[in-house]
Structure 1
Amino acid sequence: QSFGAGAAAEVAEVLGEYGQLQARRKPELLNRRITLDETKDPTKDERAIVYDDQETPFFFGHRELERVTEEWRALAKRAERVGRRLPAAVQDAWFELAGYAVLATANLYGLRAAEFENLLYARQGRAATNGRADAAEAGLARDFALARRFNSEVAGGKWRGFQTQPHIGYGDVERYGPNAGWQQPEKNNVALPDEIFPKVRRIEVPQAAELGVAVDGADDSGQWWPASATEAALPVFSPYQTRPQQYVEIFNRGRTPFSYRIESSKPWLVVERSRGRVEEQVRVGV
């Protein structure tokens, strides 16, 4: 009805996938992990349900955070292609109905992925830490730009102020008070400009190269080698596995690049890139 019969199927597909992906997790909960304290009975003690507003609900293991982010990015690309083919007369309607919602959510997933990778990398001292902080801050700038378009440009400014509610800074109790994680974060009943929360970290990266290794499945613990006292172990391999391919990440803790070489102890254990050069980090499939 709004975009013509020729575009109806594509628009419906975009909206359908948007609804499916959005149903998994609301945007304002992308920095909230909900867990159960097994020492408490949830039927008797509400403290058994633990809310952490400084953690991603998705795990690095099984590349869950990567995969959900890529699904949103793919949908955003489809939405942009559909939007470009629509007549100029319905561009505002498209942005109001679907364009903003898809692009803003996809951008937020990218921001959160960069943010939580930054926090993980900072704990490990990776040279890539500050680059992920830059990526998160660029995502915040894109979010502001999308909101400005909705507020000021669409329909001649008809929706001025419509996209001003914070949706990234949820959980910052120091800034917003005790209701920071619920409803609209505000102070004195006024919505403050949005922010990245938890805040990204920047580190001083030394000049000298230093090897670090992280293995698939250990990212959520923050373990890396040789710093960890435990033995590095990949998730179990299986010809029936549905999980993504196992990998090893070789990362630099300094600014000077270095070369690496991986030797397999078994002929059936194949490494994708057995040798190479690391500036910041390299992921090697196994």
Structure 2
Amino acid sequence: MLPVFEDGKSTSISYNLGARDILEYIAYKIQLKNFPNSPPAPQLPYESIDLIFDKYGLSHISDDIRLCIAECCLYNDVPMHFLLNTLLGNDKFKKYIIDSSYEEIYNYLRLSATITRDGQIETLIAKTQRRLIQFARELQLQYSGFDEMKKWILKVNSFVEHKLSGRFIFSDLYKMDSDEMFKFINDVIYCIGIPLVMNSRKKYISIHLNDIEVSQFIQFYILQNFIYFVKSKQTQCPVYNFCKANGGICNENCTVNKQETIKGNENCYYRRFMEKYELFDIKID
């Protein structure tokens, strides 16, 4: 039960709290600090952590400390349980955050450890290293056959390990002024790039990656659409909107005939995909 304001009156409502609330809360805090004139957002999920601090009698705790505690919880497999029971539900910890500075709390949480289900003591830093190895392995399996994409995953993994590990990065962003924050974001983009981002019209951008890497991300995107396409009864080319938005040459065959879609159109993204994977001559009923 959380105390919220409805029609100007305080009332308690039942609400399912989760990691999503923490992420939305953190993002909103950083947004408000750098863009104070942003329009107000709904209390839930954007003020959910503030409501919890109020519920536990900690409404006087500063935003930077709240955000740091919230970010620490994201390292736990059950973040809300960790926040409500291990941290704020612990009188000793509540007294500690009341009496301590942001820097003291930051370092205390950064160097903290938890006991795993099999009884092992694991620090936050050790868990980060373990998870990075796990994520790299699982993501490379997900993108098997796309060597450039796997290289990019390893590049990002290495960047996180050497530049972001052992710190609360969202808390650090919150403590930066706007110039510092935007410089940090630009530095990250310069180091690892942004492989593929599409707007609602399927127009894409890619920042600081080579053409081979970008091409593989596009190929993977087309593959996902192709799988749906061959299972469906649709006649429009599976990447018609993408092709149209990104300089491909489209004609009437792209919307009415599966087989005629790619014939005679060397600038078609779908044709390049079919040729690359030797699917050009297969018959799709």
TM norm structure 2: 0.24
Flag the structure with more relative contact order, 1 or 2, with Cα contacts below 8 A and sequence separation at least 6: 1
TM-score (norm 1): 0.24
